[in-house]
Amino acid sequence: MNPDQRTVLDRTRAFVRERFEGESSGHDWWHIDRVCRTAVAIGREERVDLHVVELAALLHDVADWKFHDGDEEIGPRTAGSWLRSLGVDDETVAHVSDIVRDISFKGAGTPTPMRTREGDVVQDADRLDGLGAIGIARAFAYGGYRGHPLHDPDLEPFFARSSAEYMTHRGSTINHFSERILLHAERMNTETGRRIARERHEFMERFLDRFHAEWEGRE
Ligand code: NI
């Protein structure tokens, strides 16, 4: 069986949507949908394989390791067996699974280089969704889910040296911006990603300035 690419994408879209609908930690279906659209837009500019990009974007959070007791293989395994069940060729299955495996961000001290240009594109799209107005909205949604305060002026920003430290750390959402999100803007893989990140980053800096001004009664 050699299914056509449109069918594979449509069925994968339905599979992922069903899994993610109703997720409330900021990794919901619409996050996946946005990452998909951004990844395809970047991929077009960067001239990479858009079919792999779209499949990997759809599946990139399919079993996010943060929610599965640190089992980092569950994502690529789920993605791989799903694609194989559709009759997708081995090369594509391996490529998409590798991207899913490599994509999770594990804290400031643990860089995660991607192996292919397609991986670079999907990782950029995923990180871009943590920047700008949507990034701000998602950060507070995630903070609420984890029970973190919006802001605590007594807490210093914290840069994790390992993924274990990153996972157990409890901080404020505002500190989370400088610990993680602002790092993303510096870590884009592609020229297109960097350009979009720069704008979104500037918007977040403006938001933070305004937030602190209001907090301190200066505004
Ligand atoms: Ni994601």
Q: What confidence tens digit (pLDDT) does each residue in 9-36 have? A: 999 999 999 888 866 555 688 999 999 9
* Confidence at residue 103, expressed as pLDDT on a 0 to 100 scale: 85
Identify residues whose C-beta is under 5 A from ligand 1, the ion. Answer: 61, 126
Of 23-32, 39-48, 120-129, 171-180, give the lowest mean pLDDT range. Answer: 23-32
* Confidence at residue 182, expressed as pLDDT on a 0 to 100 scale: 72
Locate 177 and state its tokens: 């911006």
Residue 187, number of CB atoms within 10 A of its CB: 16
* Confidence at residue 154, expressed as pLDDT on a 0 to 100 scale: 86
* Confidence at residue 3, expressed as pLDDT on a 0 to 100 scale: 76
Amino acid at 180: R
Q: Are 54 and 173 in contact (CB under 8 A)?
A: no
The DSSP string of 65-77 is GGGTTT-TTHHHH
Kindly give the distance from the C-alpha atom of residue 99 to the centroid of ligand 1, in angstroms, as a whole number.
Answer: 12
Q: Which residue has the tokens 């990153």?
A: 166
Kindly give the distance from the C-alpha atom of residue 97 to the centroid of ligand 1, in angstroms, as a whole number.
Answer: 15
Kindly give the distance from the C-alpha atom of residue 57 to the centroid of ligand 1, in angstroms, as a whole number.
Answer: 8
pTM (2 decimals)? Answer: 0.84
Kindly give the distance from the C-alpha atom of residue 5 to the centroid of ligand 1, in angstroms, as a whole number.
Answer: 23
Q: 5-215: what CATH class?
A: mainly alpha
Kindly give the distance from the C-alpha atom of residue 60 to the centroid of ligand 1, in angstroms, as a whole number.
Answer: 6
